[in-house]
């Protein structure tokens, strides 16, 4: 850990340098502001101890220059003549703390230790945030994905309710996070609640929280997901599975911005943006009496539909490369290269689980296949069955595809007609001689 001391008193610099080097910190010092700024770049310290009054220079101005070019640097101000006004100004400019002379060397060590802990936590936070952003990144260049991204950009700045619909695995949660991340609430919580993953009798207590004694085992009060999301965004996944009682309470939150915990009678105000998602047909659920019509219209202000993967197969190679890089980094193993022929085969498959299934498949390859160059044989080995292949998406020569179609079709028709050539020809409107010739040409066993 590197520490730079900028102070115009030599004895202060040497004293600090000696005690900090005893604790195995790497230290340097500067007696002038210009030399100090030069060492910020050359020495690249993690922590800077900066005097408020230097050689004709204002330490607060030096602090401003450091923070402008190196906002991540931790700067601790030192002063023997400043008051509250300078301390407040220093904190506003981004100083971590403010120490007064004469310095307590014990206190200096404590502040340095706390600053290091703060720096570590900050770095972990930014790493976690980068990881989350990567996991929630929407990938694709197809017109279908661009249309969704365009809708997200339009709706994100407002607080309008959004209802995201689409098949499982199409990225509904990614859309919800993207809306949140582009909104004015992006620095506030993004809280997820999945109605399908929680038993009906627990939905209300998990969503709205509960008071102590509300039910057996409630030995303390607990915040619900909706309170955790205060100021931010609450993502209600699988809203179609939510019971009617919970639906009524969500409607109250939307209409009046208030709710009550389970077992409580205190009305609580809440400021939260609600985004809902479902793969179910809500219109049918309304007719069947399982979903409130008034809630549907409240949620369906901005509808966004996530397209199934088979509608934008041109994005499959991009998705493969994206998740390949992700798992190489996540699993700390060399990046695997999916050969063009392999990409082509996978692009012809119909992933019933959509992008989620494709992602899981890439992870499986990274775990089970040790080779770096992934060939078609490697992916067939992992059990992707031919029935999942989308016949119409596979790009091959027309004559080869025609032959494949005729072979499969005629072999199936023969089987349906018990192998009887005459009956098959009659059913297909063909001459027996023509059908017989075609069977021989295609080498169909009968």
Q: What CATH number does residue 232 fall under? A: 3.40.50.300
Q: What's the predicted TM-score (pTM) here? A: 0.62
Sign of CA dihedral 83, 89, 92, 98: negative
Judge contact between 139 and 322, C-beta under 8 A: yes
Judge contact between 138 and 197, C-beta under 8 A: no
Q: Which domain holds residue 254?
A: 143-307
What is the structure's pLDDT at 70? 87
Q: Retrieve residue 82's tokens.
A: 């400043």
Strands (E), 313-376: 337-338, 373-374
What is the structure's pLDDT at 148? 95
Q: Are residues 186 and 198 in the same domain?
A: yes
Establish if 137 belongs to a structural domain: no
What is the structure's pLDDT at 384? 46
Specify the range with the lowest mean pLDDT, choosing from 6-20, 53-67, 217-231, 244-258: 53-67
Establish if 138 belongs to a structural domain: no
Q: Retrieve residue 293's tokens.
A: 């019509």
Q: Are residues 295 and 411 in the same domain?
A: no
Comparing 123 with 86, the larger pLDDT belongs to 86
- Find the farthest-apart pair of alpha carbons in the chain and give their distance in angstroms, rounded: 109
Q: Where does a domain end: 281, 307, 333?
A: 307
Specify the range with the lowest mean pLDDT, choosing from 31-40, 118-127, 323-332, 395-404: 118-127
Provide the 3-class DSSP secondary structure of residue 330: helix
| 432/414 Cα distance (integer angstroms) | 12
Q: How confident is the model at residue 293 (pLDDT cuts 50, 70, 90)?
A: very high
Q: What is the DSSP letter of 242?
A: S
Is the pLDDT at 83 greater than 70, yes or no? no
Q: Are residues 316 and 296 in the same domain?
A: no
Q: Retrieve residue 423's tokens.
A: 């009956």
Establish if 185 belongs to a structural domain: yes
Give 328-369 pLDDT, tens digit per residue.
Answer: 998 999 999 999 989 988 888 888 899 999 999 999 999 989
Give 173-219 pLDDT, tens digit per residue.
Answer: 999 999 999 999 998 999 999 988 888 889 999 999 999 988 888 88
Contacts of 226 (CB under 8 A, 6+ apart): 191, 207, 208, 209, 234, 253, 259, 270, 272
Q: What CATH number does residue 348 fall under? A: 1.10.8.60
User: Which residues is 191 bridged to in the sheet?
Assistant: 234
The terminus-to-terminus CA distance of the chain in angstroms comes to: 79
Judge contact between 272 and 312, C-beta under 8 A: no
Q: How confident is the model at residue 129 (pLDDT cuts 50, 70, 90)?
A: low
Task: Domain count for the chain, please give it.
Answer: 4
Judge contact between 360 and 353, C-beta under 8 A: yes
Quick one: average pLDDT of 114-139?
70
Residue showing tokens 């023997």? 80
């Amino acid at each position: 850990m590197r520490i730079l001391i900028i102070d115009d008193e030599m004895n202060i610099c040497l004293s600090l340098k000696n005690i900090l080097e005893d604790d195995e910190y790497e230290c340097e010092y500067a007696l002038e502001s210009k030399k100090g700024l030069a060492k910020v770049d050359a020495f690249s310290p993690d922590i800077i101890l900066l005097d408020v009054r230097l050689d004709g220079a204002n330490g607060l101005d030096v602090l401003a220059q450091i923070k402008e070019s190196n906002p991540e640097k931790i700067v601790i101000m030192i002063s023997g003549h400043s008051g509250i006004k300078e301390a407040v100004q220093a904190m506003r400019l981004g100083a971590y703390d403010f120490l007064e002379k004469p310095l307590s060397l014990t206190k200096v060590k404590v502040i340095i230790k706390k600053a290091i802990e703060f720096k570590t936590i900050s770095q972990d936070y930014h790493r976690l945030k980068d990881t989350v952003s990567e996991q929630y990144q929407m990938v694709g260049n197809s017109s279908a994905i661009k249309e969704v991204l365009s809708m997200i950009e339009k709706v994100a700045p407002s607080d309008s309710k959004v209802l995201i619909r689409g098949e499982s695995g199409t990225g509904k949660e990614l859309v919800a996070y993207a809306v949140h991340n582009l909104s004015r609430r992006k620095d506030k919580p993004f809280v997820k609640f999945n109605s399908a993953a929680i038993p009906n009798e627990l939905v209300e207590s998990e969503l709205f929280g509960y008071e102590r004694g509300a039910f057996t085992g409630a030995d303390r009060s607990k915040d619900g997901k909706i309170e955790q999301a205060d100021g931010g965004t609450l993502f209600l996944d699988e809203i179609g599975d939510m019971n009617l009682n919970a639906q009524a309470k969500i409607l109250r939150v939307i209409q009046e911005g208030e709710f009550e915990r389970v077992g409580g009678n205190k009305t609580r105000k809440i400021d939260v943006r609600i985004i809902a998602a479902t793969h179910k047909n809500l219109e049918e659920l309304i007719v069947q009496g399982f979903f409130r019509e008034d809630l549907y219209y409240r949620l369906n202000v901005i509808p966004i539909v996530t397209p199934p993967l088979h509608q934008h197969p041109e994005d499959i190679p991009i998705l493969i490369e994206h998740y390949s890089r992700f798992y190489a980094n996540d699993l700390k193993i060399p990046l695997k290269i999916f050969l063009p022929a392999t990409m082509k085969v996978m692009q012809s498959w119909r992933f019933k689980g959509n992008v989620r299934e494709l992602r899981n498949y890439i992870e499986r390859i990274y775990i089970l296949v040790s080779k770096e160059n992934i060939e078609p044989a490697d992916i067939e080995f992992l059990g992707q069955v031919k029935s999942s292949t989308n016949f119409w998406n596979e790009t091959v020569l027309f004559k080869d595809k025609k032959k494949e179609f005729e072979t499969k079709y005629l072999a199936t028709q023969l089987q349906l007609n018990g192998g009887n050539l005459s009956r098959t020809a009659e059913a297909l409107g063909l001459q027996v001689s023509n059908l017989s010739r075609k069977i021989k040409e295609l080498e169909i066993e009968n």
